[in-house]
Structure 1
Amino acid sequence: MRRITLKPFKTPPAAAAANNLRRFSADVHPVPPSTPSPDLSSPISQTLSLLQTTDPSSWPTNSNLQTLLSSLSPPAVLRVTRQLPNYQNALHFFNHLKTAAELSDSIPLAFQAVLEVAMRENPGTLCELFVLSKEQNIPLSVNAATLLIKYFGRGKKLDEMMSVFDSMDEEMKNTDVLNLVIVGFLKWGRFNDALKLLDEMLEPDSCYPPNTNTAGIVFSSILKKNWSGRRVTDEEICNLVTSFSEHGSDVEIASCNALLTGLANNHDFARMNLLMKEMKESGIKPNIVTYGITINQLSKLRRLDEALEVLEQMRGGEVGVEPDVVIYNTLINGLCKVGRQDEAGEIDKGNELFEQMSKEGVEINVVTLNTLVDGMCKHGRVSSAMELFNNIREKGVKGNAVTYTVLITAFCNVNNIDRAMKLFDEMQENGCSSDAVVYYSLISGLCQAGRMDDATFVVSRMKEAGFCLDVVSYNILIGGFCRKNKLDKAAEMLKDMETAGVKPDRVTYNTLLSFFCSNGDFKHAHKVMKKMIGDGLTPNVVTYGAMIQAYCTSNNIDAAMKIYTDMSSSSKVPPNTVIYNMLIDSLCKNDGLEVALTLMDDMKEKGVRQNSNTYNALFKGLRQRKMLEKALEFMDQMTEQACNPDYVTMEILTEWLSEVGEIEKLRKFVQGYQVSASTI
């Protein structure tokens, strides 16, 4: 890895300085050709006119052109070259200038202009031009060198970048140029090279001390991890902060905050604390953004006690930074999103912060309101949320669409539809534009409550507002109409879906199929299933379950078993515990105990877990057939599977075992002992 050495700056004599001023002065950044109306009488305009109307081969013998060129200063030559129509013209003109000894002072700036034109038209030629400059010893102006360093640095041509840097006269090098070299190194992972150069810039007698831009470049790179093969250590980060401060560089709090943000995103609290300590020792005072970064990250990770401690530190510390509404909102939001019911007390802490805001005169905005209302509603404290909303409204903070959406959804979820509708009307009166979520919540709540006329009214209002129903809303409406036995209305919804271009999904078909099955209309149920398959939707366990339940209810156990057989053989949908329970219960009620026992074996073989409902159905069938020994075996099986008996189990077994004088075995069963005769 190469050692980068900076030669000490030597102030040139006054005469040399004046010459260099003419030779190297130019704009800090390349400037595109200017477009103002030219002064046709000026030497620059006359020169341009001649260059564009004559053949380049005639230039050396064109006395008018030579006279004009001899009257132009180097900056004027720069302007002429920049305004030539293309790169080839600029290069021809530059080659002509090299043949005239009296124009040698204009060569560096003319070459700079050629580079600028090439950069605009064909950046790939810059490599060739740089090689040309080295072969022909063409001196580079500071702007030409800067342009090449930027280009090579961006294109990962770091050797070429350093070659440009080394070719520059020492008096041309400055902090901004060195910053560009550091940018190139950092961009492509040469972090060690960048640090070596930075170390020399940070030396006490350096002629090129770092500035604010240097600090920003380095810290930004550390944030983005723009290096490879190594990790920047805590010590290096802290040393950089200290070195920049000791050298008199203005390490802005913004740079430190940016670095703090990166560490926070990586949840690196140890290094965050170390950086805060270094900032304090370096006299860099944290501001409200600094504290906000820490509080925000702690809140996101639900380390709320620590976040609250930071709040107390910022208010009571030496810095004395007063928290603003953003800080409070961040904390309240974190407290409200803890998300576990057993920690609902965090909402009370959020309320305390809210009261603290009021006392300290911190503006309470609608974000604060919405955060608290949302947190309360999610923890089931809808009444408290409504009370808070009313109190804040009295203080002049009006709710917005988000506030109403949260409250309406919450009241729908607790089946308080009247209150939800009242809030919906109030929302409209206050000019808050409803979004689709409000309508979806109301439609769902009204359908669950069986208020289908009101749900239909909300649908019409929703369409008037320019919103469309989604498949979930259509399914809820179809389900609501089916529960009300209004098949004609459900059919209207299906037709509306088709018109709106919303395709029915499995839920749509399963809802309709369940409706027909519950009404014993197996003909239409099978039609629905056929249509479902035709639409490319595979029936799932809910589909088969609805059919099996309907056949079991109508005592058509053979049809139910046929569907079960189809599921087990041809379908990729295996029967679950619910389906087995329906079949076992129906078989036991219809003298099909032997088949029910084979289903129990199937469950065990296929790894489908039995539950108390499974055994309850079986115990009823065994009792009817007076098969006590088999019942005792299944009681032991319940114990082995840790399947706890429920009150139905106990009711069946208590009556049966009391009748046959085996109450002691029931007691042992309850205590978890085996009770079958074979075990005894």
Structure 2
Amino acid sequence: MRLPLKPLKLPPSGAATLRSFSAEPHPSPPPPPPSLEGPDPSSHISQTLSLLQTTDPSSWTTNTTLHTLLSSLSPPSALKIARQLPNYQNALHFFNHLRSTSQPSDSISLAFQAVLEHAKRESPDSAGKLYELYVLSKDQNTPLSVNAATLLIKCFGQAEMLDEMIMVFDAVDEEMVNTDVLNLVVSGFLKWGRFDDALKMLDEMFETDSGYPPNSNTTGIVFSSILKRNWSGRSVTDEEICKLVSRFGAHGVYPSSIWFTQIISRFCRNRECEKAWVVVHEAMNSGLDVEVASCNALLTGLGQERDFARMNLLMKEMKEKGIKPNVVTYGIMIKHLCKFRRVDEALEVLEKMRDGELGIEPDVVIYNTLIDGLCKVGRQEEGLKLMEKMSLDSKCNPNTVTYNCLIDGFCKAGEIERGHELFEQMSKEGVEMNVITLNTLLGGMCRHGRVSTAMEFFNSMREKGLKGNAVTYTVLITAFCNANNIDKAMKLFDEMRENGCSPDAVVYYSLISGLSQAGRMDDATFIVSKMTEAGFGLDVISYNILIRGFCRKNKLDKASELLKDMEKNGVSPDRVTYNTLISFFCSNGDFTHAHKVMKKMISDGLTPTVVTYGALIQAYCSNDNIDAAMKIFRDMSSSSKVPPNTVIYNMLIDSLCKNDDVEVAISLMDDMKEKGVRPNSTTYNALFKGLQQRNWFEKALEFMDQMTEHACNPDYVTMEILTEWLSAVGETEKLRKFVQGYQISASTA
């Protein structure tokens, strides 16, 4: 049973330190293990060991020879004898004998130390056994040697017996306490995640008049604990780490290069570059030899924040402090300049790198970064020249990545042939192509509509043993879906699964979209089931595609099931979902349900769009209910924040003209002008038909002039209406002038 233990109490500051702390301003380091250098001859030790091992412990007190030998032994000799006894029990008997014969306390203390050492080695539950012995020593008022206390503190710390660890620490004589002992206590706390307790102990070590200031071991213990991935304690903030580094620095100690670099990397990873900057410069200004790895970590963080001014300043300071940049340093600069499309500056860094005092030769990674950067800004020809230069100047051979960057650049620029030429050059020069090379060329071909060529190329590569991966099939399946070749896309999908390539969400989405647009809703549902089995969920776009597909097939029950499935999976319908349903009900003349869906849309916090109103207006116009259509139009113009567009006006003008309400249609043209909505040829065509029915020739001429003035392109419908009408009334000359006027106006525009 564990004894009740007093908690660790650390005073706030000043002279009121722990009782066990040394009052000496500069204590000496812990003494080495005692040796037998002293007045005791080795023969006395051998005789004593022989007697102890050949006689029964119960007779030791009456053995005058043993008594004589022990009386002449020094404390270090007592320690050596106890250590050489065969086991823990013998050592314990020896310790008890020394106590019973009133040997010097130093001898008793060192003998007890040996007992602890035996028990630690031999006992399965060493921490428990040591605790029993420690309690025994307290009961017997046996003083602890510094090594015995150190052993107990370390053992209890490792066993998470932290209260016991502090109990031993408090019992250590003040003269024995030093930095190394405190390091063990700090280590014990940190091992079990007790950062705040460790911090209290560190606070004492950081005190100005502390006799046990932190050393390099302290920093190693602290930072190796709180920076490791499986740290079990509370989260230590970047602010706390920054403060710790500064406080250690005030005592002239810093974390080792490895931990210092990890601290900088952590700050930069957490977007705390300012802290990283401060810590690095505190170390530099203190005279610490900051290594290039730490500067590289800071450069990486600054690059991610696009702070190129500080990156250049740090490079300058590194030169001043004698910190030699390496190829990684320049690589970081070039990488981030290229990433943010500052390729010319990156090329300048390349020149400085080669022509500088250090004369560091760029490696293939740096060249690849620059070539990729040039290709990404459309300068693939310069990238090609740089590849040629790298072979000549640096004896640095292009590799697969080099060619992949260039092929990608030419393919994205639409120069598929150039990309293929590089592919052939790659093969001739013995540079191994990989699946990325394949996918890059396939992607370029498919993006530019050369799907059949892409398929032929894929088949030829397969014959040469280059197998595609999931990306390969995704590119091809998506391309065939976009080309409405669903059968081929499905065949590739089956082949993909047979070859062990797991389809990703993009493949499923592409197939669902293609099948739905082709009206193959059963196949689309099958793909959805496979997608669900694979662990992917439908997003709102996929749901909308499926709902639209089922609505086109007039399968409202299936669309309703999908709506319920959306709700079940926590996917909220968007404007497209509601607009699809409203269009469906409108096309079927079911205005009651259309308006109900619109109300639900509004109640869900979604504002109806011009598509929503357009579906209702189109449906009312198609059902010859122009009054209802005009009411919705007026609602849009007054209460709604959605202004009508050209399509809405065209619907209404066409319907009004068909119903011989030409005056109202003309008023809508004026309304368009006031609201800055530009009419198109469809608008004018509808109006010309209405004017033709009324034979309002003069009004038609006005609108013909408007078309010319606005450079509105007359289409074949316009010409058909005007040719028939103007020829019938003998005004072909006006038609000729109209065509000429438009041509001049369009040319000017």
Per the normalisation by structure 2, the TM-score is: 0.68
Quote the residue 1:154 is aligned against: 241
Aligned counterpart for 2:557 among listed residues 459, 481, 491: 491
Aligned counterpart for 1:356 among listed residues 392, 405, 425: 425
Instruction: Please say if residues 149 and 180 of structure 1, whose CA atoms lie closer than 8 Å, have aligned partners that are also in contact.
Output: no
Give % identity.
50
Instruction: Please say if residues 420 and 442 of structure 1, whose CA atoms lie closer than 8 Å, have aligned partners that are also in contact.
Output: yes
Say whether 1:287 aligns with 2:376. Answer: no
**Which amino acid in structure 2 is aligned with residue 492 of structure 1?**
K
Q: Secondary structure at the match of 2:198?
A: coil
Q: Secondary structure at the match of 2:712?
A: coil
Quote the residue 2:327 is aligned against: 253
Q: Secondary structure at the match of 1:286?
A: coil
Deviation at 1:633, TM superposition (A): 2.5
Quote the residue 1:388 is aligned against: 457
Query: What CA distance in whole angstroms lies between the structure 2 residues aligned with 1:520 and 1:136?
Result: 89
Quote the residue 1:568 is aligned against: 637
Deviation at 1:578, TM superposition (A): 0.9
Query: What CA distance in whole angstroms lies between the structure 2 residues aligned with 1:178 and 1:558?
Result: 78
Query: What CA distance in whole angstroms lies between the structure 1 residues aligned with 2:223 and 2:457?
Result: 61
Instruction: Please say if residues 187 and 222 of structure 2, whose CA atoms lie closer than 8 Å, have aligned partners that are also in contact.
Output: no
Alignment of 1:54-65 (within 5 A): 62=141, 64-65=142-143
Moved more, 416-425 or 449-458: 449-458
Query: What CA distance in whole angstroms lies between the structure 2 residues aligned with 1:398 and 1:613?
Result: 52
Quote the residue 1:323 is aligned against: 398
Quote the residue 1:29 is aligned against: none
**Which amino acid in structure 2 is aligned with residue 648 of structure 1?**
V
Q: Deviations over 1:146-201 (max 9, x none)?
A: 76899999343676444311xx8xxxx99969979997997352665544445xx7
For the structure 1 residues 516 and 670, does the alpha-carbon distance in structure 2 shift closer, same or farther, using more than 3 Å as the test? same
Deviation at 1:353, TM superposition (A): 2.1
For the structure 1 residues 92 and 525, does the alpha-carbon distance in structure 2 shift closer, same or farther, using more than 3 Å as the test? closer
Deviation at 1:392, TM superposition (A): 0.5
Query: What CA distance in whole angstroms lies between the structure 2 residues aligned with 1:517 and 1:558?
Result: 16
Deviation at 1:385, TM superposition (A): 0.7
Quote the residue 1:110 is aligned against: 181
Query: What CA distance in whole angstroms lies between the structure 1 residues aligned with 2:213 and 2:653?
Result: 96
For the structure 1 residues 326 and 50, does the alpha-carbon distance in structure 2 shift closer, same or farther, using more than 3 Å as the test? same
Aligned counterpart for 1:220 among listed residues 277, 288, 297: 297
For the structure 1 residues 581 and 391, does the alpha-carbon distance in structure 2 shift closer, same or farther, using more than 3 Å as the test? same
Instruction: Please say if residues 148 and 164 of structure 1, whose CA atoms lie closer than 8 Å, have aligned partners that are also in contact.
Output: no
Query: What CA distance in whole angstroms lies between the structure 2 residues aligned with 1:141 and 1:455?
Result: 68
Deviation at 1:129, TM superposition (A): 1.2
Quote the residue 1:308 is aligned against: 384
**Which amino acid in structure 1 is aligned with residue 379 of structure 2?**
R
**Which amino acid in structure 2 is aligned with residue 638 of structure 1?**
M
Moved more, 650-659 or 223-232: 223-232
Aligned counterpart for 1:276 among listed residues 320, 328, 350: 350
Instruction: Please say if residues 620 and 626 of structure 2, whose CA atoms lie closer than 8 Å, have aligned partners that are also in contact.
Output: yes
Instruction: Please say if residues 145 and 164 of structure 1, whose CA atoms lie closer than 8 Å, have aligned partners that are also in contact.
Output: no
Q: Secondary structure at the match of 1:574?
A: coil
Quote the residue 2:276 is aligned against: 187
**Which amino acid in structure 1 is aligned with residue 674 of structure 2?**
E
Deviation at 1:662, TM superposition (A): 4.2
Say whether 1:143 aligns with 2:232. Answer: no
Aligned counterpart for 2:680 among listed residues 598, 611, 621: 611
Q: Secondary structure at the match of 2:360?
A: coil
Query: What CA distance in whole angstroms lies between the structure 1 residues aligned with 2:315 and 2:639?
Result: 65
Q: Give the gaps of 5 or more residues in structure 1.
A: 1-18, 25-37, 202-209, 676-680
Query: What CA distance in whole angstroms lies between the structure 2 residues aligned with 1:186 and 1:525?
Result: 59
Query: What CA distance in whole angstroms lies between the structure 2 residues aligned with 1:518 and 1:525?
Result: 10
Say whether 1:556 aligns with 2:630. Answer: no
Say whether 1:398 aligns with 2:467. Answer: yes
For the structure 1 residues 45 and 524, does the alpha-carbon distance in structure 2 shift closer, same or farther, using more than 3 Å as the test? same
Query: What CA distance in whole angstroms lies between the structure 2 residues aligned with 1:180 and 1:84?
Result: 32
RMSD after superposition: 4.5
Query: What CA distance in whole angstroms lies between the structure 1 residues aligned with 2:532 and 2:169?
Result: 70
Query: What CA distance in whole angstroms lies between the structure 1 residues aligned with 2:284 and 2:216?
Result: 24
Query: What CA distance in whole angstroms lies between the structure 2 residues aligned with 1:476 and 1:140?
Result: 66
Alignment of 1:170-569 (within 5 A): 187=276, 189=278, 193-197=282-286, 210=289, 214-225=291-302, 231-232=309-310, 234=312, 237=315, 240=318, 244=322, 252-269=326-343, 271-280=345-354, 281=356, 282-318=358-394, 320-336=395-411, 338=412, 343-345=413-415, 347-452=416-521, 454-455=523-524, 458=527, 470-483=539-552, 486-487=553-554, 489-499=555-565, 501=568, 505-522=574-591, 525-526=594-595, 529=598, 538-569=607-638
Quote the residue 1:164 is aligned against: 251
**Which amino acid in structure 2 is aligned with residue 156 of structure 1?**
K
Deviation at 1:51, TM superposition (A): 8.2
For the structure 1 residues 232 and 507, does the alpha-carbon distance in structure 2 shift closer, same or farther, using more than 3 Å as the test? closer
Moved more, 392-401 or 468-477: 468-477
**Which amino acid in structure 2 is aligned with residue 187 of structure 1?**
A
Q: Deviations over 1:423-479 (max 9, x none)?
A: 234334434333443343334333433445554555566566666555544544444
Q: Secondary structure at the match of 2:291?
A: helix
Deviation at 1:46, TM superposition (A): 3.3
Query: What CA distance in whole angstroms lies between the structure 1 residues aligned with 2:624 and 2:256?
Result: 92
For the structure 1 residues 164 and 91, does the alpha-carbon distance in structure 2 shift closer, same or farther, using more than 3 Å as the test? farther
Query: What CA distance in whole angstroms lies between the structure 1 residues aligned with 2:620 and 2:437?
Result: 56
Alignment of 1:86-97 (within 5 A): none
Query: What CA distance in whole angstroms lies between the structure 2 residues aligned with 1:425 and 1:215?
Result: 53
Q: Deviations over 1:550-578 (max 9, x none)?
A: 33233332232233233333444332211
Per the normalisation by structure 1, the TM-score is: 0.74
For the structure 1 residues 453 and 177, does the alpha-carbon distance in structure 2 shift closer, same or farther, using more than 3 Å as the test? closer
Q: Deviations over 1:525-564 (max 9, x none)?
A: 5565566556665543223322322332333322322332
Deviation at 1:389, TM superposition (A): 0.4
Q: Between Structure 1 and Structure 2, whose CA radius of gyration is higher?
A: 2
Quote the residue 2:154 is aligned against: 82
Q: Secondary structure at the match of 1:634?
A: helix
Query: What CA distance in whole angstroms lies between the structure 1 residues aligned with 2:306 and 2:478?
Result: 50
Q: Secondary structure at the match of 1:135?
A: coil
Deviation at 1:587, TM superposition (A): 1.1
**Which amino acid in structure 2 is aligned with residue 304 of structure 1?**
Q
Instruction: Please say if residues 149 and 164 of structure 1, whose CA atoms lie closer than 8 Å, have aligned partners that are also in contact.
Output: no
Q: Secondary structure at the match of 1:642?
A: coil
Quote the residue 2:47 is aligned against: none
Query: What CA distance in whole angstroms lies between the structure 2 residues aligned with 1:437 and 1:180?
Result: 40
**Which amino acid in structure 2 is aligned with residue 312 of structure 1?**
E
Query: What CA distance in whole angstroms lies between the structure 2 residues aligned with 1:620 and 1:355?
Result: 61
Query: What CA distance in whole angstroms lies between the structure 2 residues aligned with 1:124 and 1:23?
Result: 29
Query: What CA distance in whole angstroms lies between the structure 2 residues aligned with 1:460 and 1:180?
Result: 49
Moved more, 470-479 or 416-425: 470-479
Instruction: Please say if residues 657 and 687 of structure 2, whose CA atoms lie closer than 8 Å, have aligned partners that are also in contact.
Output: yes
Q: Deviations over 1:303-338 (max 9, x none)?
A: 3233323322222323x22233233333333433x3
Say whether 1:43 aligns with 2:117. Answer: no
Instruction: Please say if residues 190 and 228 of structure 1, whose CA atoms lie closer than 8 Å, have aligned partners that are also in contact.
Output: no
Deviation at 1:373, TM superposition (A): 1.1
Query: What CA distance in whole angstroms lies between the structure 2 residues aligned with 1:149 and 1:482?
Result: 63
Deviation at 1:115, TM superposition (A): 4.5
Query: What CA distance in whole angstroms lies between the structure 1 residues aligned with 2:316 and 2:598?
Result: 69
Query: What CA distance in whole angstroms lies between the structure 1 residues aligned with 2:30 and 2:381?
Result: 63
Q: Deviations over 1:84-138 (max 9, x none)?
A: 56777667766765555xx5xx734334434444666413324541355x43544
Q: Secondary structure at the match of 1:575?
A: coil
Query: What CA distance in whole angstroms lies between the structure 2 residues aligned with 1:50 and 1:159?
Result: 42
Instruction: Please say if residues 119 and 126 of structure 1, whose CA atoms lie closer than 8 Å, have aligned partners that are also in contact.
Output: no
Q: Give the gaps of 5 or more residues in structure 2.
A: 1-27, 34-86, 92-111, 118-129, 227-238, 268-273, 745-749
Instruction: Please say if residues 213 and 251 of structure 2, whose CA atoms lie closer than 8 Å, have aligned partners that are also in contact.
Output: no
Instruction: Please say if residues 552 and 583 of structure 1, whose CA atoms lie closer than 8 Å, have aligned partners that are also in contact.
Output: yes
For the structure 1 residues 265 and 21, does the alpha-carbon distance in structure 2 shift closer, same or farther, using more than 3 Å as the test? farther
Deviation at 1:344, TM superposition (A): 1.2
